[in-house]
Amino acid sequence: MIRFRLDKLRLAWMLILTGQRRVLIFVLHIDAKPKLRGSPGQGVRVSGRASLTSTRKAVMKIAVPIIVAIIGFTSPSWAQMPPNSSFEQEMMESMSKMDQGMVAAAMTGNPNYDFSAMMIPHHQGAIDMAKTFLLHGQDSVLRRLAQEIIVTQQQEIQVMRLRLATLQTGGASAPPEKKQDAPASIPVSEKDRVYTGDQTSNTVSVINPSSNKLLGVIRLGDPVPGALSPLYRGQLLVHGIGFSPDHRTIAVVSIGSNSVTFIDTATNKIKNVVYIGRAPHEAFFTPDGKELWAVVRGEDYVSVIDPVKMKETRRVQTANGPGMVLFRPDGRYAFVPSSFTPELDVVDTKSYQVVARVPQASPFSPNLSVSRDGTEVWFTLKDSGKTQVMSAQPPFRILATLDTGPITNHVTLVENSNGKFAYVTVGEENAVKVFRRGEKPELIVTISTGDLPHGIWGSGDGTRVYVGLENQDAVIAIDTITNKIIATIPIGLQPQALVYVPDAVPTGDGTANLMPLAEAGKAAHLTLIAPEGSRSAAHATVSVNSLGPLDLLQIAVSGLKPGKMYRLWLVASRTAPFEQKEELVTFKTNLAGAQVVQTVGPFRQVLTSNREKTAELTQQRFLLVTPAESDTAEVIQKTP
């Protein structure tokens, strides 16, 4: 049974008679209240809910015309409205829409959630009615009130939506989540593998961490210029890598060919290739292994791929330029920082909806790491040289912001007998910075690495971390107990992402389908320093990688003025006026006064002193960086 209270109709009549028309239309709300069963102080249940909307509509068809007619007789401005005006119809539509929204709101039994869920459509109804009045009404007092209602109710809707998002993720009023058990520790063995995505040689380097030797490369494509052919079918700009929870599959992301390549870890054989959106960057499997999520950084979504059917099944909308995705170990949330927008999105993996948007200190985040116990997320900011620490539990608060240094690249979290640590690669300093994790993260040691450290990952037992050196075409192994480098391993050209996969090869030697480095091993490495006496801290590292007849030159420079334009030159002399200057590329530094720049040409022979013998002597050339508007040297190539 449903009983109706028409007390507000009587209130409306009293307001009209007493001249208080200015609040009439906004206090008017016909209550169609369901009868509640239960004693005072006890829980109640609703009867007749299914017929609530239809009954309300019937009452509205009678009540609204009556009230509009009453107002028409008593308000000079409304009395001038023509018969059968659209005002009545629009008000009815607003009220019907509000009723439908309130009835459709799912009740959970949680008063905090249910209140917000029902009040949002209620407030939206008030906004819609206020907008309708502004289209038809002329009373200045009522128009001012309508404008105030629109502003205040919109603000209140936003507050309630934010509270709903928090309540949906179990934050604030929900009981705290239990701390998760960390996965079992897996000692280093010959069954483990370290993989790097080699961007210039378009290969995946495969390392045995037991011997710290390169076993070979998986060739996914050809180097430039072969990769630029209109008939080219291989992968281009091999970059990101993720692996399945059973450690039997790696997923390799290629930025230039918009693809994800699935590779069997035991045989190094390509299983399939899935093509997705523009410029994907990184990918990782969900903890249950049923989905692979790949961030499409050139757009604004995460591509969700079925690794059995080998096809995209859905897209998760995020902030523009998602940079990476990793999951909390229990699989409930995915964490997606952005490389273009100062926002990290937290995605509910059941609903595929963003449930929290956490501000980043700056826009460019390429990487993150989640703690084994599911309590912390660390993410890097390459443009500002910072690393931020966030709670992995609602309401996902930022816990710390650390100044780690220009060209802060990747981070990995490890646990061993010494405690819990974060290892961060910092390209500008050619170093890995080690922080003791805790309420206030503490820098405990800086480890000098080599040229432009980039990808990093810890072993299954936390006793080692492996680091890719982008401008040195190598990987180093660090003993995390002593924080000493124990091996340097030559690999493919310009490694980007790096992962450590325990027990990747359950049987056999795991060398099938691997190829030698070949052209991928031909590279030169240079250093640029500030001119003597300049007192400048500017410096740069350079890798010159063979592409066959041409070379790819990549320079990582730092210590310059932030946000300024500079030029890279090829010159014949290391001293002014430098002679035979040829401009190679113009670039703009980031927020930290650093930048990584590439150019292609026949460089290796003229830039290195150990050049191959030719019939004609080739004049030695040097690299120089100057401000775009002057010839003053900022950094010049260092002699061997």
Is residue 179 situated within a structural domain? no
**What kind and span of H or E run contains 355?**
strand 353-359
pLDDT score at 104: 78
Are 352 and 494 in a shared domain? yes
Are 398 and 543 in a shared domain? no
Torsion, Cα 453 468 228 512, to 10 degrees, reads 180
Is residue 328 situated within a structural domain? yes
Is residue 174 situated within a structural domain? no
Number of domains making up the chain: 3
Is residue 176 situated within a structural domain? no
Is residue 589 situated within a structural domain? yes
Q: Which domain holds residue 442?
A: 194-520
Over the Cα atoms of the chain, what is R_g?
32
Supply the pTM of this predicted model.
Answer: 0.69
Is residue 140 situated within a structural domain? yes
Is residue 624 situated within a structural domain? yes
Are 259 and 346 in a shared domain? yes
One DSSP character per residue, 402-445 reads EE--SSEEEEEEEEETTEEEEEEEETTTTEEEEEE-SSS-EEEE
Q: In 3D, which of 147, 91, 146, 156 has the Cα closest to residue 121? A: 156
The confidence band for 616, taking pLDDT boundaries of 50, 70 and 90, is: very low
pLDDT digits (tens, 9 = 90+) for 93-137: 888 888 888 877 777 778 888 888 889 989 998 988 888 888 888
Are 330 and 388 in a shared domain? yes
pLDDT digits (tens, 9 = 90+) for 468-520: 999 999 999 999 999 999 999 999 989 999 999 999 999 999 999 999 987 65
For residue 373, give the CATH number of its domain.
Answer: 2.130.10.10
* Amino acid letter for position 518: A
Per DSSP, the three-state class of 158 is helix
Is residue 531 situated within a structural domain? yes
pLDDT digits (tens, 9 = 90+) for 315-352: 999 999 999 999 999 999 999 999 999 999 999 999 99
* Other beta carbons within 10 Å of 160: 17
Are 438 and 561 in a shared domain? no
Are 343 and 211 in a shared domain? yes
By the 8 A CB rule, do 356 and 395 touch?
A: yes
pLDDT score at 449: 97
Are 504 and 565 in a shared domain? no
Are 494 and 530 in a shared domain? no
Per DSSP, the three-state class of 8 is helix
Are 55 and 73 in a shared domain? yes
| Residue 244 confidence (pLDDT) above 70 | yes
By the 8 A CB rule, do 262 and 251 touch?
A: yes
Of 520, 537, 565, the last residue of a domain is: 520
Residue matched to tokens 């054989």: 269
Of 168, 202, 219, the last residue of a domain is: 168
For residue 594, give the CATH number of its domain.
Answer: 2.60.40.200
Are 234 and 318 in a shared domain? yes
Of 483, 505, 520, the last residue of a domain is: 520
Are 507 and 538 in a shared domain? no
| Residue 225 confidence (pLDDT) above 50 | yes
pLDDT digits (tens, 9 = 90+) for 26-62: 334 434 344 334 333 333 333 333 344 444 444 444 4
Residue 5 has which token pair?
A: 């209270």
Are 332 and 424 in a shared domain? yes
pLDDT digits (tens, 9 = 90+) for 387-412: 999 999 999 999 999 999 999 999 99
